[in-house]
Chain A
Amino acid sequence: MNILNTFFNVPVLLDSLPVLMMGLLVTLEIGVVSILVGLAGGLVLAVARLYAPGLVRTLIVAYVNVFRSIPLLVLLIVVYYALPFVGIRLSPFASAVTALGLVSAAYTAEIFRAGIEAVPNGQFEASAALGLSNRHTMVDVILPQAIRIVIPPLTNNSINVMKDTALASVVAMPDLLKQATQAQALAANPTPLIGAALIYVLLLCPMVLLVARLEKHLNRGKR
Chain B
Amino acid sequence: MKPIVSIKNLVKAYGSFTVLHRIDLTIAEGEVVCVIGPSGSGKSTLIRCINHLEGFAAESEIVVDGVAVLPGANLARVRAEVGMVFQSFNLFPHMTVLKNVMLAPMRVRGMKAEAAAARARDLLARVGILEQAEKFPGQLSGGQQQRVAIARALAMEPRVLLFDEPTSALDPEMVGEVLDVMKKLAGTGVTMVVVTHEMGFARQVADRVIFMDGGRIVESGTPAALFDSPQEARTRAFLRAVLNH
Contact = CB atoms under 8 A, between A and B. Distances in A.
Interface in B55-91: 76-77, 79-80, 82-84, 86, 88, 90-91
B104 A128 contact: no
B93 A145 contact: yes
A123 B92 contact: yes
B76 A126 contact: no
Given A126-B86, A130-B104, A144 B51 contact: no
A213 interface: no
A143 to B, nearest CB: 10
B79 A129 contact: yes
Contacts of B51: 128-129
Interface stretch (A45-53, A132-140, A153-161): A132-140
A206 interface: no
Contact of A131 (B80, B86, B90): B80
Contacts of A122: 86, 88, 90
The interface centre, meaning the residue of B91, B94, B152 with most chain A CB atoms within 10 A of its CB, is: B94
A123 B95 CA distance: 12
A67 to B, nearest CB: 31
The A contact surface, by secondary structure, is helix
A123 B107 CA distance: 16
B85 to A, nearest CB: 9
Interface in B85-140: 86, 88, 90-94, 103-104, 107-108
A117 B98 CA distance: 26
Nearest to B85: A129
Nearest to B103: A140
A144 B84 CA distance: 23
B190 to A, nearest CB: 15
What's the interface size class on B, roughly?
20 to 34
B107 A129 contact: no
A141 B137 CA distance: 14
Contact of B107 (A125, A128, A136, A145): A136
The B contact surface, by secondary structure, is mixed
Nearest to A139: B107
B53 interface: yes
Nearest to A145: B94
A123 B76 CA distance: 17
B156 interface: yes
A125 B94 contact: no
B53 A131 contact: no
B53 A129 contact: yes
A131 B76 contact: yes
Contacts of A140: 92, 103, 107
Contacts of B76: 131, 133
A132 B92 contact: no
A137 to B, nearest CB: 9
Contacts of B86: 122, 125-126, 129
Contact of A126 (B82, B90, B94, B108): B90
Nearest to A140: B103
B92 A131 contact: no
A123 B137 CA distance: 13
Contacts of A133: 76, 107-108
Contact of B94 (A130, A131, A144): A144
A132 B104 CA distance: 7
Interface of B: 51, 53, 76-77, 79-80, 82-84, 86, 88, 90-94, 103-104, 107-108, 152-153, 156, 162
